[in-house]
């Protein structure tokens, strides 16, 4: 093999390794701490990085244990899985991507997860259906779709949020947030590269205070 061919082969191998690595996440804390999850290359998802999830769950602190969580545009399911690992009583995952939903169902079965279910459906259609009540909602839609605002409005108008519910959302760091419900009080915000991430709370008596 010539040096050029060898270099090309090494380059392709390195690229393949980087691609595989980018599709692996790990659980940061709780009973599944350190477990790694690989998501399918066929799934069209943008997972929340480990360091962002670590910051988010530091923000949430003791609010996760016993909480009922809704993971919208779930993708890899990393946010909901992290919540289950830290004691959430239930997580409803919702995503329209077939590969992502299949991977997530398999992982929940493999890990013996309790209180978790996966709905493979369009999230906006899901939010227009009969609502349930959740304590924590993870809202991370595809950036290019421009549906963060309408997703937020449906959560509020269709009464998906329990009193004092916490809402986590992600958006492009260089873009302004869309109009959000007036009842949502901003608690925290940070930026990681091109991603802006935020924590809000439904502004009702008895909610979380700083």
Predicted pLDDT at 209:
44
CA 81 to chain CA centroid, Å, is 9
Flag whether 80 is in a domain. Answer: yes
Encode pLDDT of 108-147 as tens digits. 999 999 999 999 999 999 999 999 999 999 999 988 888 9
* Domain carrying residue 75: 3-202
Encode pLDDT of 149-189 as tens digits. 999 999 999 999 999 999 999 998 888 899 999 999 999 99
pLDDT(208) > 80:
no
173 versus 73: the higher-pLDDT residue is: 73
Q: Whole-angstrom Cα distance, residue 102 to residue 205?
A: 40
**Global pTM value:** 0.84
- The residues, any chain, with a CB within 8 Å of residue 24's CB and separated by 6 or more, are 36, 37, 38
Q: Whole-angstrom Cα distance, residue 177 to residue 45?
A: 21
Domain of 172, CATH number, reads: 3.40.50.150
Flag whether 72 is in a domain. Answer: yes
Flag whether 207 is in a domain. Answer: no
Encode pLDDT of 25-67 as tens digits. 889 999 999 998 876 665 566 678 788 999 999 999 999 999 9
Predicted pLDDT at 41:
64
Is residue 160 within 8 A of residue 170, CB to CB? The reply is no
Count how many domains the chain has: 1
Q: Is the dihedral of CA 56, 128, 118, 162 positive or negative?
A: positive
Predicted pLDDT at 45:
67
Q: What is the β-pairing status of strands 195-202 and 184-192?
A: antiparallel
Flag whether 117 is in a domain. Answer: yes
Predicted pLDDT at 37:
80
Predicted pLDDT at 176:
87
Give bridge partners of residue 136 from the DSSP assignment.
69, 166
**pLDDT band with cut points at 50, 70 and 90 for residue 207:** very low
Encode pLDDT of 77-99 as tens digits. 999 999 999 999 999 999 999 98
Q: Whole-angstrom Cα distance, residue 89 to residue 42?
A: 30
Predicted pLDDT at 145:
87
- Identify the residue whose tokens are 């959740």: 134
Flag whether 11 is in a domain. Answer: yes
Beta strands in the chain (DSSP E): 24-26, 36-38, 68-72, 90-95, 116-120, 134-139, 161-172, 184-192, 195-202
């Amino acid at each position: 093999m010539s040096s050029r061919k060898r270099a090309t082969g090494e380059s392709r191998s390195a690229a393949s390794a980087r691609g595989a690595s980018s599709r692996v996440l790990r659980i940061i804390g709780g009973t599944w701490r350190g477990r790694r999850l690989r998501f399918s290359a066929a799934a069209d998802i943008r997972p929340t990085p480990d360091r962002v999830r670590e910051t988010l769950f530091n923000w949430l602190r003791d609010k996760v244990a016993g909480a009922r969580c809704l993971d919208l545009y779930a993708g890899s399911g990393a946010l909901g899985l992290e919540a289950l690992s830290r004691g959430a009583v239930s997580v409803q995952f919702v995503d329209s991507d077939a590969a992502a939903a299949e991977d997530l169902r398999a992982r929940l079965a493999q890990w013996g997860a309790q209180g978790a279910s996966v709905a493979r459906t369009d999230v906006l259609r899901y939010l227009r259906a009969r609502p349930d009540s959740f304590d924590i909602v993870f809202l991370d839609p595809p950036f290019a779709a421009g549906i963060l605002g309408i997703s937020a409005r449906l959560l509020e108008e269709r009464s998906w949020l329990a009193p004092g519910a916490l809402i986590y959302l992600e958006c492009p760091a260089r873009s302004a947030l869309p109009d959000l419900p007036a009842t949502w009080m901003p608690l925290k915000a940070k930026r990681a590269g091109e991603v802006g991430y935020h924590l809000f709370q439904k502004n009702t008596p008895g909610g979380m205070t700083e």
